[in-house]
């Protein structure tokens, strides 16, 4: 039987008897010195050429901005060498000192690139950001800094919540609530003051910047920067804020949460819970004596 489609690539020996699978007729036991093209065919692989002698063991990572800016990053202990590939030739353009002490540390680096920016993570080191400067035609490697606030979880019926930034606002009634410096406040007309509600939530200001809390995985997805898998929380995931109103969303990990529920007289089976984040980039607005806050990332839980 003539086979012209190899889209499934090389198949495991465990599938040699699975003639009931479509992949059986689109694969091979071994494909050597050929490349699979997207349409399913194969073509001879290109040859390789030694272009530079590294002289020592290292880790190679690609950094591709566009077809005219193709860089190769060579990581070795305490050193990053950057090569530029143009017109079939490779040249060393820059050398940067790094914090990665051992070759094994370099091999464990996880990275994610978003156009001219690459984020580097390793569980033994703080996250670093490699940025290409088009005006200087060079790279800069800097340690990342982040903006954190403790979590505020509201699981009751609230008409509106104010978010204070420069201080507690003016209270009007016993139904007024606000969030300030990561704490939930309720206004008391009897005492003429704002009073903290509940216990102070845990603050993760040391996240990503203290030993044991450095992320081991990174990715860009849905306009957010995602971190995961610290030594203290191997299965936990963190996502940066969105949308971006200040150009720094990849550094903002504020996690205010608001749960808006319907009247509790409704049966539990019919109750819908809506979850949204308070947009920390916009202040509370006043209109006709009423205060409003912008909510983002609204979702409905069933």
C-alpha–C-alpha distance, residues 292 and 302, integer Å: 26
CATH number of the domain to which 99 belongs: 2.40.128
C-alpha–C-alpha distance, residues 5 and 98, integer Å: 46
- Residue at 72 is within a domain: yes
- Residue at 96 is within a domain: yes
pLDDT in tens, the chain (302 residues): 788 899 999 999 999 999 999 999 999 999 999 999 989 999 999 888 787 888 778 999 999 998 888 999 999 999 999 999 888 788 999 999 999 999 999 999 999 999 999 999 999 999 999 999 999 999 999 999 886 654 455 554 555 566 676 788 888 888 787 777 667 788 899 999 998 875 554 545 577 888 898 999 999 988 889 999 999 888 888 888 765 555 677 877 765 444 333 333 444 444 444 555 555 554 455 555 555 555 555 554 44
- Residue at 223 is within a domain: no
293 with 159, same domain: the answer is yes
- Residue at 272 is within a domain: yes
- Residue at 136 is within a domain: yes
Range of the domain at 118: 59-143
Beta-carbon contacts of residue 277 (< 8 Å; ≥ 6 apart): 241, 255, 256, 257, 258, 295, 296, 297
C-alpha–C-alpha distance, residues 30 and 24, integer Å: 13
23 with 124, same domain: the answer is no
156 with 293, same domain: the answer is yes
**8 Å CB contact between 204 and 113:** no
87 with 106, same domain: the answer is yes
Query: Which residue, 121, 143, 165, sits at the end of a domain?
Result: 143
82 with 168, same domain: the answer is no
State the total domains in the chain. Answer: 3
126 with 263, same domain: the answer is no
177 with 96, same domain: the answer is no
CA–centroid distance for 101 within its chain:
25
- Residue at 217 is within a domain: no
């Amino acid at each position: 039987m003539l086979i012209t489609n190899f889209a499934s690539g090389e198949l495991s020996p465990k599938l040699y008897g699975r003639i009931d699978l479509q992949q059986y007729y689109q694969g091979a036991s071994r494909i050597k010195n050929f490349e699979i093209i997207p349409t399913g065919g194969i073509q001879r692989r290109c040859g390789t050429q030694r272009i530079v002698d590294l002289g020592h063991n290292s880790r190679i990572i690609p950094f591709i901005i566009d077809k005219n800016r193709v860089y190769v990053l060579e990581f070795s202990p305490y050193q990053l060498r950057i090569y530029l590939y143009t017109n079939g030739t490779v040249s060393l353009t820059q050398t940067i000192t790094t914090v990665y002490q051992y070759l094994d540390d370099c091999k464990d680096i996880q990275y994610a690139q978003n156009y001219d920016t690459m984020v580097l993570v390793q569980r033994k080191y703080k996250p670093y950001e490699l940025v290409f400067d088009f005006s200087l035609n060079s790279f800069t490697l800097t340690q990342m800094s982040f903006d954190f606030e403790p979590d505020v979880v509201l699981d009751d019926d609230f008409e509106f919540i104010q978010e204070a930034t420069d201080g507690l606002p003016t209270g009007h009634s016993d139904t007024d609530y606000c969030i300030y410096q990561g704490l939930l406040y309720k206004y008391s007309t009897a005492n003429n003051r704002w009073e903290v509600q509940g216990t102070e939530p845990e603050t993760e200001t040391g996240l990503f910047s203290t030993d044991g809390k450095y992320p081991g995985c990174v990715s860009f997805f849905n306009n957010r920067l995602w971190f995961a898998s610290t030594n203290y929380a191997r299965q936990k995931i963190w996502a940066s804020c969105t949308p971006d109103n200040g150009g720094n969303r990849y550094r903002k990990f504020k996690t205010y949460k608001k749960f808006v529920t319907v009247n509790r007289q409704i049966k539990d089976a019919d109750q819908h819970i809506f979850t949204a984040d308070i947009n920390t980039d916009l202040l509370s607005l006043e209109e006709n004596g009423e205060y409003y806050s912008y909510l983002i990332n609204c979702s409905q839980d069933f």
